[in-house]
């Protein structure tokens, strides 16, 4: 395999690459910390590219606070658009293949069947818009890119919905959770493994791809599964979005069609509930 530099290495997905790299004894990954690998520092980035001469770059660095982005537009735009462009420009200059991670939130959420890569992206939040603009900046700057749109990431690392719900359950007898937003929870370790498969394949089938775990769930279904699998008795009450107002509007439906990534790379994708079990057992081991 080839030298691969991972930006955003201390975030959730970045830590998944670190875990896999350690477990599989892969010494191909370079994990700059946030100072050394600040995606807004073009000169620092160029020094990294010059020094390591990577063959692949994976951009996991992002502004991911969906609600906060609504009022923190400048920083969200800087990180998700300018940062993505900086990396893509250097990938073009140094002939590096870029793997840019993007999101289901680029979609409006009004389709009633799984979203394909060519479906119109029309974000309804600042975060979604900045991620779409980041995709466009990548496509403009370089030819050798894989943009992987994923959704509802969780893992044993960093902050995510599973950890939030487990924490809330420790102090609440009941929780109200939205039941009319549908998507697919995705174990970030599965996504990291998918990206490693793409790198290992050496494929040049550049373009946009959708990846999530298999299946469909609402945030309510997801929470019920987290609690059922953890033997937690906190009651989960299904509510409509209108009863849980948030600064950012989220897509009502963002289930993704994964046919393209499965057929191009010969992947078998785990069903979301199976991966959730794996993640919960990792979280239990940590506690
Ligand atoms: N989390 C999710 O549910 C989903 C995420 N995605 C996408 O997947 C990718 C990975 O997400 P995830 O790992 O969960 O997100 P995290 O927020 O856990 O990780 C992002 C990391 O990027 C870092 N970062 C922010 N600004 C910079 C910068 N200027 N230079 C370098 N690093 C920076 C953050 O640091 P700090 O925390 O200090 O700001 C953080 O460590 C992102 O592109 C995200 O948009 C897509 C769909 C779902
Ligand atoms: C905590 C909580 C959340 N919710 C709802 C609010 C929201 O619609 C949904 C998810 O809440 P969160 O704010 O944790 O998740 P959110 O940050 O919206 O998750 C998104 O993050 C970005 C980065 C992505 O790219 C997306 O794919 C998606 O994973 O659950 C409840 O209904 N009840 C609750 O108690």
Nearest-angstrom CA–CA distance, 106 and 128: 5
Pairing assessment for the beta strands 56-59 and 97-103 based on DSSP bridges: parallel
In a domain, 173, yes or no: no
Task: Say if residue 1's pLDDT is above 70.
Answer: no
List the structure tokens of 124: 């309804």
Pairing assessment for the beta strands 217-218 and 182-183 based on DSSP bridges: antiparallel
Rounded to the nearest angstrom, the distance between the alpha carbon of 263 and the centre of ligand 2 is 30
Determine whether 127 is an active site residue. Answer: yes
> How many domains are contained in the chain?
1
Cβ(81)–Cβ(62) below 8 Å: no
Nearest-angstrom CA–CA distance, 67 and 242: 16
> For tokens 């030819």, what's the residue?
143
Task: Say if residue 179's pLDDT is above 70.
Answer: yes
How do residues 209-241 score in pLDDT, each as one tens digit?
Answer: 999 999 999 999 999 999 999 999 999 999 999
Q: What domain range includes position 100?
A: 4-160+185-213+255-270
Nearest-angstrom CA–CA distance, 189 and 278: 10
How do residues 85-139 score in pLDDT, each as one tens digit?
Answer: 999 999 999 999 999 999 999 999 999 999 999 999 999 999 999 999 999 999 9
CATH number where 32 lies: 3.40.50.720
Rounded to 5 degrees, what are φ and ψ at 145?
Answer: -140, 150
Nearest-angstrom CA–CA distance, 268 and 31: 28
Count of Cβ atoms closer than 10 Å to residue 47 Cβ = 12
Rounded to the nearest angstrom, the distance between the alpha carbon of 217 and the centre of ligand 2 is 13
* Shortest-distance Cα residue to atom 9 of ligand 1: 60
For a ligand 1 pocket test, name from 32, 37, 61 the mutation site with the most ligand atoms within 8 angstroms of its C-beta. Answer: 61
ipTM for the predicted complex: 0.99
DSSP state of 241: G
Number of the ligand 1 atom closest to the C-alpha atom of 59: 43
Q: Which of helix, strand or coil describes residue 231?
A: coil
pTM of the model: 0.97
Give the 3-state DSSP-derived string for 153-207, with helices as H, strands as E and coil as C: EECCCCCCHHHHHHHHHCCCCEEEEECCCEECCEEHHHHHHHHHHHHHHCCCCCE
Which pLDDT value is given to residue 287? 74
DSSP state of 243: G
In a domain, 205, yes or no: yes
In a domain, 10, yes or no: yes
- Give the number of the ligand closest to the Cα of residue 100: 1
Which is the catalytic residue, given 127, 154, 209, 220?
A: 127
How do residues 36-73 score in pLDDT, each as one tens digit?
Answer: 999 999 999 999 999 999 999 999 999 999 999 999 99
pLDDT band at 166 (very low <50, low <70, confident <90, very high): very high
Nearest-angstrom CA–CA distance, 137 and 223: 35
Rounded to the nearest angstrom, the distance between the alpha carbon of 97 and the centre of ligand 1 is 20
Rounded to the nearest angstrom, the distance between the alpha carbon of 161 and the centre of ligand 2 is 7
Per the prediction, the chain carries an average pLDDT of 96
**Ligand 1 pocket: which residues have CB below 6 Å?**
7-8, 10-13, 34, 37-40, 60-62, 64, 79, 83, 101, 103, 131, 150-153, 158
Rounded to the nearest angstrom, the distance between the alpha carbon of 28 and the centre of ligand 1 is 21
**Ligand 2 pocket: which residues have CB below 6 Å?**
64, 66, 103-105, 151-153, 161, 164, 175-178, 181, 219, 244, 246, 250
Task: Tell me the helix, strand and coil percentages in the chain, rounded to 5.
Answer: 45, 15, 40
* Shortest-distance Cα residue to atom 28 of ligand 2: 152
For a ligand 2 pocket test, name from 177, 253, 254 the mutation site with the most ligand atoms within 8 angstroms of its C-beta. Answer: 177
Number of the ligand 2 atom closest to the C-alpha atom of 254: 27
Nearest-angstrom CA–CA distance, 192 and 19: 10
For 237, the enclosing helix (H) or strand (E) is: strand 235-239
């Amino acid at each position: 395999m080839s030298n691969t530099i991972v930006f955003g290495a201390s975030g959730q997905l970045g830590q998944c690459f670190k875990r896999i790299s350690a477990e599989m004894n892969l010494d191909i990954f370079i994990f700059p910390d946030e100072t050394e690998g600040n995606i807004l520092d073009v000169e620092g980035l160029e020094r990294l590219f010059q020094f390591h001469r990577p063959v692949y770059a994976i951009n996991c660095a992002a502004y991911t606070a969906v609600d906060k982005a609504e009022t923190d537009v400048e920083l969200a735009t800087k990180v998700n658009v300018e940062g993505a462009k900086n990396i893509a420009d250097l990938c073009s200059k140094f002939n590096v293949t870029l793997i840019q991670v993007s999101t289901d939130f680029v979609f409006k959420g009004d389709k009633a069947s799984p979203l394909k890569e060519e479906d119109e992206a029309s974000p309804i939040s600042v975060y979604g818009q900045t991620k779409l603009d980041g995709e466009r900046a990548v496509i403009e700057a370089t030819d050798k890119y894989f943009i992987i749109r994923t959704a509802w990431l969780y893992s044993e690392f960093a902050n995510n919905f599973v950890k939030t719900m487990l924490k809330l359950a420790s102090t609440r007898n009941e929780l109200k959770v939205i039941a009319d937003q549908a998507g697919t929870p995705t174990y970030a370790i599965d996504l990291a493994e998918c990206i490693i498969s793409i790198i290992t394949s050496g494929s040049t089938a550049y373009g946009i791809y959708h990846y999530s775990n298999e299946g469909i769930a609402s945030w309510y279904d997801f929470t019920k599964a987290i609690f059922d699998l953890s033997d937690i008795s906190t009651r989960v009450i299904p509510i409509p979005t209108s009863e849980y107002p948030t600064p950012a509007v989220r897509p009502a439906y963002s289930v993704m069609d994964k046919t393209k990534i499965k057929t191009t790379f010969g992947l078998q994708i785990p069903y979301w509930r199976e991966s959730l079990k794996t993640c919960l057992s990792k979280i239990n081991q940590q506690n």
